Structure 1
Amino acid sequence: MTDLSAIGWRWTPADLDPAWRALMQAHPQARPARIVEQHRSGYRVAEAPGQAFPAESLPQWQRAGSYRKGDIAPEERPAVGDWVLVQGASPDGLRMVALLPRFSAIKRGAAGEHYRQQVIAANIDTAFVVCGLDGDFNPRRIERYLLLVSGHGVQPVVVLTKADLAVDVTVAQQALRGLQVPHVMLDARSPDAAVALAPWLQPGQSVVLVGSSGAGKSTLTNTLLGQARMKTGAVRARDARGRHTTTHRALLALPSGACIIDTPGMRELKPTGEEDVSESFADIESLAEQCRFRDCLHDQEPGCAVRAAVASGALSEARLAHYRKLRQEVDAAARSRAEKVAARTGAVRSPGQGQHGRH
């Protein structure tokens, strides 16, 4: 298991999840491997760092564009970071025979009118939400990324890149008040970046980078690797937006013993309905507990602690408005998800909204 540990395997036979153990016993000729790349044409897996071999997937996983009733849901298909059981010999004879259950995953609602989920990365410990301290800086987009991470057992860390630019970092710090998650400011090209992020890059840890194009994800990946493996590009001067230099998700082993997953920039960040809004906006939820009325709408009601915080400058009006907007989106996605599940199972389901906050 030494080679596997370099790509994130950290279990002994004694502490394996019972479901994993059962699958491994059901496929005694198979061995664990990790999906390290996902392309339109298929998957590539590794059993050691520096590897990436194509692997044939099970037939029920191959209908990526099929959503007929009874087909496997997109979020149940393999994704980068997943552990699978493989048989055969590399480089051309590998076949995936089982998907081991995930201990965490980051998902988003896929683009389009119909409800679908897309897994961004699986079996990860930390998500670096990367945002540049240039024209890319957008507190509302950061909040949306943090919402997608919430409730899935993943530790979010806000990583603000381009700290070498002549910017007033106090403005960014002020804008991030209330997030209640760690945040780090750094120059993605500097070796000091590895030092600043070291607490989350310990051996056996898996980290995913998410953020818009041009935020510095691939540059940071190259710095942490100590070599230029990922393609990088310049951003447009007029709006600080980047082009999609990363075209697919890829998992790479770092010298520190951790693994990192670089992802393409995402322009659309739709919730899945499984997110925990109260976790992402704990500051507003805490204030709401102090309101005079339990069903306070934080509008014109007397004794509203939330409006009082806005009036005093402790809470920004923009953050409160975004909180309301995201709650509506999550509740709508939860209803769509319940309808999708009911259609697939033939059951009548009620989405419930208890997990999404009180207000």
Structure 2
Amino acid sequence: MNLKNLGWNEAFESSFNQYRVQGYTIGRVILEHKRLYRVLTDQGELLAEVSGKFRFESLSRQAFPTVGDWVVVKPRWDEHKATIQAVLPRKSKFSRKVAGEKTEEQLVATNIDVLFIVVALNHDFNVRRIERYMVMAWESGAKPVIILNKADLCLNPEDKLKEVESVALGVKIHILSAVNEESIPLLQQYATNGATVALVGSSGVGKSTITNRLMGKEVQYTQEVRDGDDRGRHTTTYRELMILPTGGCIIDTPGMRELQLWDAGESLQDVFEDIDHLSSMCFFANCSHKTEPKCAIKAAIDEGTLSQKRFQSYQKLQRELAYLAQKEDKAAAIQKKVKTKSIHKELKKKINKR
């Protein structure tokens, strides 16, 4: 196996040098299941688990390997198994807040070059959801590309395209129907020379069909959407990295019913650049865009140059991120306290044994 086809580059090589001299091997996680990992190396596939030291020193779930990670392993070639010693620094990661009330990050995939945001042109079409995906995509460090799939089921695809263009500034958008193989060359250009592409989107939007087309064979099970509401059934139930015939990799992910932001940084401003620019034109620097005079946001809404729904979406995401940051600070403090207590307990045991 040529590691360059898996995305290996000089930056990863530099990070791995300190482990190479210790006799360790490098591999990429292609599948994760209950803390067991399928790792692909230049000498084949290994079933791996993390070492006890790794588990003890990891402060959070995010420190553990996930699909797409490059991991340092101690192989047992005769058993086709390995022990993971470390995870190399990630160049990108797509993550979300875990579903429910728990304040915790869920890594979806790492070391991605291109993120296909797949949207179906049927009743699933939702511009506000696209905005949310865009924020998460830019924060991931990967290049977002929007795929408007199932064009054969849409009477007005060009109108939908204009809607998406109005919120996805500077992002490549492709209209296609994945069931038609002629559409696939549009996407193959992103999946060459060791590039890693990940697909995200709701269930039933056609991610598995796109994966099958790019792979050139049926590797993912597909189903028709439900009658009546165009809602998808979960056909992909886990994340898996696969090697493409074009020399790159693809990661198909399960459909996301709940898409809560985890972190955004400056990505919110990047996606809502138009609103950010208008805010800078308000008469008052601390304008709340409610009752203040000479508010550029209110003026744009009244003139019809800014959608009220888009502005409300921006405000909603702002509130969500602020609330999350507050909860995250509390959770981090509790986690640190528990870890410190655990370390002290271990030290006390060692002292008592002397």
TM-score (norm 2): 0.87
Map 1:274-353 to 2 at 5 A. Answer: 274-275=264-265, 276-345=267-336
Q: Return 5+ residue gaps in structure 2 as ranges.
A: 338-354
Q: Please give the root-mean-square deviation of Cα atoms over the aligned residues, in Å.
A: 2.3
Q: CA deviation at 1:34?
A: 0.4
SS in 2 for 1:324: helix
* Structure 1 match to 2:245: 255
What residue is the counterpart of 1:66 in the other structure? Answer: none
Deviations 1:153-180 (A, max 9, x none): 2111111100122420133123221321
The one-letter amino acid of 2:139's match is: G
Aligned counterparts of 2:276 and 2:334: Cα–Cα separation in 1: 34
Aligned partner (choices 28, 41, 52) of residue 47 of structure 1: 41
Q: Given the alignment of the two structures, is residue 179 of structure 1 paired with residue 168 of structure 2, yes or no?
A: yes
Q: Distance in 2 between matches of 1:264 and 1:91?
A: 31
Superposed, 1:93-132 pairs within 5 Å as: 93-132=81-120
Classify 1:139/1:221 alpha carbon distance in 2 versus 1 (closer, same or farther; 3 Å). Answer: same
Distance 1:196 1:294 in 2: 45
Which amino acid letter does the alignment assign opposite residue 25 of structure 2? R
Whole-angstrom distance in 2 between the partners of 1:321 and 1:142: 14
Measured at CA, do residues 17 and 9 of structure 1 come closer, stay the same or move farther in structure 2, by a change above 3 Å?
closer
**SS class of match (1:151):** helix
Q: Is the 8 A contact 2:46 2:81 kept in 1?
A: no
The TM-score with structure 1 as length reference comes to 0.86
1:273-321 deviation per Cα after TM superposition (whole angstroms, max 9, x unaligned): 3443112211211221222222122223332222222223322211111
**In 2: Cα distance, 1:301 partner to 1:169 partner:** 39
**C-alpha displacement of 1:237:** 2.1
Q: After TM superposition, give the deviation of residue 191 of structure 1 in Å.
A: 2.5
- Judged with a 3 Å threshold, the aligned counterparts in structure 2 of structure 1 residues 145 and 91 are, in CA distance, closer, same or farther, namely farther
Counterpart secondary structure, 1:223: helix
Partners of 2:193 and 2:205 in 1: CA distance: 26
AA aligned to 1:143 is: E
- Aligned mate of 1:209, from 193, 199, 208: 199
3-state SS in 2 of match to 1:332: helix
- Could you tell me which amino acid in structure 1 is paired with residue 2 of structure 2? D
Q: Could you tell me which residue of structure 1 aligns to residue 27 of structure 2?
A: 33
Which letter maps to 2:41?
E
CA distance in 1 between counterparts of 2:13 and 2:299 reads: 48
Q: Which residue of 2 aligns with 1:85?
A: 72
Decide whether the 8 Å contact of 1:31 with 1:85 is kept in 2: yes
* Cα distance in 2 between the residues matched to 1:332 and 1:257: 42
Q: 3-state DSSP class of the match of 1:156? A: strand
> Would the aligned equivalents of 2:135 and 2:264 in 1 still touch at CA under 8 Å?
no
Most deviating of 264-273 and 84-93: 84-93
Report what 1:3 is aligned to.
2
Task: Using the TM superposition, give the Cα deviation of residue 144 of structure 1 relative to its aligned residue in structure 2, in angstroms.
Answer: 1.4
Tell me the CA shift for residue 37 of structure 1. Answer: 0.7
The structure with the largest helix share of the pair is 2
Q: For 1:56 and 1:42, how far apart are their aligned partners in 2?
A: 5
After TM superposition, list the pairs within 5 Å mapping 1:95-244 onto structure 2.
Answer: 95-176=83-164, 177-180=166-169, 181-244=171-234
- The residue matched to 2:80 in structure 1 has which SS? coil
Q: How much has 1:17 moved relative to structure 2?
A: 6.1
Q: CA-to-partner distance for each residue in 1:88-112, whole Å, 9 max, x for gaps?
A: 2166322222211111111111123
Q: Secondary structure at the match of 2:100?
A: coil
The answer on whether the counterparts of 1:108 and 1:117 sit within 8 Å (CA) in structure 2 is yes
Is the 2:45–2:80 Cα contact (8 Å) retained in structure 1?
no
Contact kept in structure 1, 2:30 and 2:242, CA below 8 Å: yes
The letter for the 2-side match of 1:57 is V
Rg (Cα) greater in structure: 2
Paired position in structure 2 for 1:22: 18
